[in-house]
Structure 1
Amino acid sequence: MTKKKEQTVEDKLRALYDLQLVDSRIDEIKNMRGELPLEVEDLKDEVAGLNKRLEKLHVDLSNIEVGIKEKKASIDGFKEAIKRYTEQQNDVRNNREFDSLTKEVEFQNLEIELAEKHIREMKASIEFKKENIKETQEKLNGRQEHLDHKVSELNSIMSETEREENLLNQKSVELQEDIEARLLTAYHRIRNGVRNGLAVVSIERGASAGSYFTIPPQTQVEIAARKKIITDEHSGRILVDSALAEEEREKIEAMLAKI
């Protein structure tokens, strides 16, 4: 079994900066997508809700139409009863029977009036439902069109970056495997604690690229010596010298160019 070569501090710094460059590129790709994935999901939920609402409105409309048919059938039944009671009045034997049939006729007429009132109310409800359906359909069409546009936009970005992002994620995993656990933990802790995700930064014009606080000359000399891991006292970021940073940037850019 071949013994793994022990890493120097410079090796560790290069590995950490390479990881930072790769992870920063992944961040750029995610930023390109921005809020699009969440926006698409929200639009999908909204469209699904409108479809469900539209379906319920159509069911309600159908039920009202059935109700009107039932009321009309009831009216026909009441009219048949009136006809029958009226005919029976011709054969009554006394006033009591005649009055009883007259009350039945009056009752049937009241039932007809009530059914007709219900029909008028249901017809008004139909008009309201139809207007509601029209408005909901128009809103649904608009949200569906917006969703289609956003999905197309997201798919376009995904098709352009998906392969690169997958390869970068794979490269990030590979790089992390070569970094000792203690340093990797520190890297993720710093990266998660800063807004721009920069855990490892170079010295540019005497200042930390991440915080822009001036680095003392003696500290800059120590950083350039690459003999120990040095962090920015203001931001906690791991610092590397500009020459090392430039060399690693060129290396990573050459790798990205092949993707």
Structure 2
Amino acid sequence: MAKTKKSDVTVEDKLRALYDLQLIDSRLDEIRNTRGELPLEVQDLEDDIAGYEKRHAKITDEVKELDKDIKARKEAIKQSEALIKKYTGQQDNVRNNREFEALAKEIEYQELEIELSEKRIKEFKFKIEEKKELIAKVDEKLANYREHLEHKNSELDKIVKETEKEEKTLLKKAEEFSQNIEPRLLKAYTKIRAAVKNGLAVVPVERGASAGSYFTIPPQRQMEIALRKKIITDEHSGRILVDAELAAEERKKMEDIIN
């Protein structure tokens, strides 16, 4: 689409360019609406999966730490058993009862240490079993979420592929038409589009009112719109107004361009 010199651009040219852009944006809105809530559902599922994966990793790390604790306790038992053997051997060479009793106390202490370590090992093993059950539940949840995500992604990919070519063409056309609209008008158009629910910033006058509105436009105002000499907005909705004839011409033109 060849660019027009700014000095040669009439109000009618601006109105046609704005309505052309509106037609393109409306079609893009339709395409995106066909996807419905799928993109959000996919994002939610991805967030849920990331959360469960993080939880899985945390529990797995806790199991590893408990395994380390068990190994440390088993090593402590070996050390205590070695000391018991050592002290028992030393009891055979004591010179008096005092030395014998002192060694007996050391042996008793190491036996208590062994009992404590064995108790802790049982506790750690019980915790590991609990955490493995949690991991199994998390794995099950992850499998369900991943399967659901795959299904949703498949649905979304199918819809995207059906409209991908058209969407790319429309985006390119939207960029082309935007370059032919002065920044001030383009900014106003974008602001109005963002403010209205259906994204319609430029609408034709139909049956004496702006499209989608029940408020009648005075005949004198309708004549001004039909003359295409200035940009006129709807006083109720703020939308830019074009006459029905211009709208029909541009719809036909855009259908030919898009198709």
Structure 2 length normalisation: TM-score? 0.87
Instruction: Count the aligned residue pairs.
Output: 256
The corresponding residue for 2:95 is 93
Q: SS of the counterpart of 1:81?
A: helix
Deviations 1:129-154 (A, max 9, x none): 11121122122222222222232233
Shift of 1:101: 1.6
The corresponding residue for 2:240 is 238
CA contact (8 A) 1:210 1:237 kept: no
Q: Does 1:139 align with 2:141?
A: yes
Of 123, 126, 145, the residue aligned with 1:124 is: 126
Q: Does 1:43 align with 2:40?
A: no
What is the identity, as a one-letter code, of the residue corresponding to 1:101? L
> Cα RMSD between the aligned structures?
2.4
Q: SS of the counterpart of 1:203?
A: strand
Q: SS of the counterpart of 1:91?
A: coil
What is the identity, as a one-letter code, of the residue corresponding to 1:97? E
Shift of 1:168: 0.9
Of 206, 210, 213, the residue aligned with 2:215 is: 213
The corresponding residue for 1:103 is 105
Shift of 1:94: 1.6
Of 22, 25, 28, the residue aligned with 1:26 is: 28
Query: Whole-Å Cα distance in 1 between the matches of residues 246 and 192 of structure 2?
Result: 20
Q: SS of the counterpart of 2:233?
A: coil
**What is the aligned-residue identity percentage?**
60
Query: Whole-Å Cα distance in 2 between the matches of residues 182 and 123 of structure 1?
Result: 71
Shift of 1:202: 1.0
Taking a change above 3 Å as real, the CA distance of residues 54 and 183 of structure 1, as seen in their structure-2 partners, is: closer
CA contact (8 A) 1:43 1:143 kept: yes
The corresponding residue for 2:76 is 74
CA contact (8 A) 2:16 2:246 kept: yes
The corresponding residue for 1:180 is 182
Shift of 1:34: 4.2
The corresponding residue for 1:14 is 16
Higher mean Cα deviation, 9-18 or 34-43? 34-43
Query: Whole-Å Cα distance in 2 between the matches of residues 7 and 97 of structure 1?
Result: 112
Of 174, 178, 195, the residue aligned with 2:197 is: 195
What is the identity, as a one-letter code, of the residue corresponding to 1:150? K
What is the identity, as a one-letter code, of the residue corresponding to 2:149? L
Deviations 1:223-243 (A, max 9, x none): 233343322121121212222
Deviations 1:137-190 (A, max 9, x none): 122222222222232233222222222222111111211222334433332232
CA contact (8 A) 1:198 1:210 kept: no
What is the identity, as a one-letter code, of the residue corresponding to 2:159? I
Q: SS of the counterpart of 2:103?
A: helix
Query: Whole-Å Cα distance in 1 between the matches of residues 105 and 238 of structure 2?
Result: 96
Query: Whole-Å Cα distance in 2 between the matches of residues 181 and 118 of structure 1?
Result: 73
Query: Whole-Å Cα distance in 1 between the matches of residues 185 and 101 of structure 2?
Result: 104
Structure 1 length normalisation: TM-score? 0.87
Query: Whole-Å Cα distance in 2 between the matches of residues 193 and 213 of structure 1?
Result: 19
What is the identity, as a one-letter code, of the residue corresponding to 1:19? L
Shift of 1:38: 4.3
Taking a change above 3 Å as real, the CA distance of residues 12 and 77 of structure 1, as seen in their structure-2 partners, is: closer
Q: SS of the counterpart of 1:212?
A: coil
Shift of 1:103: 0.8
Query: Whole-Å Cα distance in 1 between the matches of residues 9 and 90 of structure 2?
Result: 114
CA contact (8 A) 2:205 2:243 kept: yes
Shift of 1:73: 3.1
Query: Whole-Å Cα distance in 1 between the matches of residues 169 and 150 of structure 2?
Result: 28
Q: Does 1:155 align with 2:157?
A: yes
